[in-house]
Amino acid sequence: MHDLKHSLTHGPRNYQDALAEEIRSSAARLLAEDIGTGDITAELIPVDQWAKARVVTREAAVLCGSAWVDELFRQLDSRVGLHWLAFDGEQLQAGQTFLELEGPARSLLTGERAALNLLQTLSATATSTRAYVELIEASGVRLLDTRKTLPGMRLAQKYAVSCGGGHNHRFGLWDAFLIKENHIAACGGIDAAVKQAREIKPEAPVEVEVESLDELDQALAAGADIIMLDNFSLEQLRDAVKRTQGRATLEASGNVDASTLEAIAATGVDCISSGALTKDVKAIDLSLRIIETRAN
């Protein structure tokens, strides 16, 4: 299974360029939606007031989103200085200060909510991913994300999954085939769909979603690179592994959560995908507090 960096490197944009573009555009978008025509509350503060602040997590978390916050304050006010005490992918403990800021008080408070929104969401994705990864780490099975991401945050959340130790599934509709039930019906069968995919984009991975062992056999005969076993029972998963014998990568999907993950991994599949990593996130509880002020 290819990861995000592979997908973007072999797609229309280079990974680093795409990530930089995403960071710039999302920072601008978040500032625009929060500030609008101006932060009228910040205008209560003297324009020459300088402040120091720190950001603390109230719960354990895996940090993610520092580059987005750097860019947000760069666009808002380049006079704001940021000192990171932890880095993306690091485990934070409850009560830990992980970021210190210094600059115009107005700017610190204007950027506060947008910065925390980014950090709390991306850190939540990284944290949930890390918890899942730790459950199956010993098995060697790879944990994959899906396209079930928050609207407008696809690349950011997939980056967060990688910070949590997970792997990226396809980025979008352009970098890999995922032939599902409706595609199969419209194409006239699994074999016809796979053959057509090979003709359209020979270099792209071809994955087929199957709902039965009979469909698994059809996908294997058609030469699919990856086969998604949709909502298979544990017994069916074990049977699928025996039938496949390494001829294709097997991905288990459906009914995946913390209570089922280990048992699924034990069946011998190659990877497990879960939309919960990105769509069911609970924001991390973060707080920004001003700790010192002075006239500048």
Active site residues: 113, 148, 180, 209, 230
Contact 267, 234 (CB under 8 A): yes
Looking only at Cα atoms, what is the longest distance across the chain? 74
What tokens were used for 27? 């920072």
> What region does 152 belong to: left with phi over 0, alpha with psi -120 to 50, or beta?
left
Q: Give the whole-angstrom CA distance, residue 145 versus residue 226.
A: 15
What tokens were used for 4? 């995000």
What tokens were used for 241? 């592994």
Residue 32: Cβ within 10 Å count:
11
Torsion of CA 259, 133, 216, 204, to 10 degrees: 150
Contact 164, 133 (CB under 8 A): yes
Q: Which helix (H) or strand (E) holds 241?
A: helix 234-244
Q: Give the whole-angstrom CA distance, residue 242 versus residue 217.
A: 12
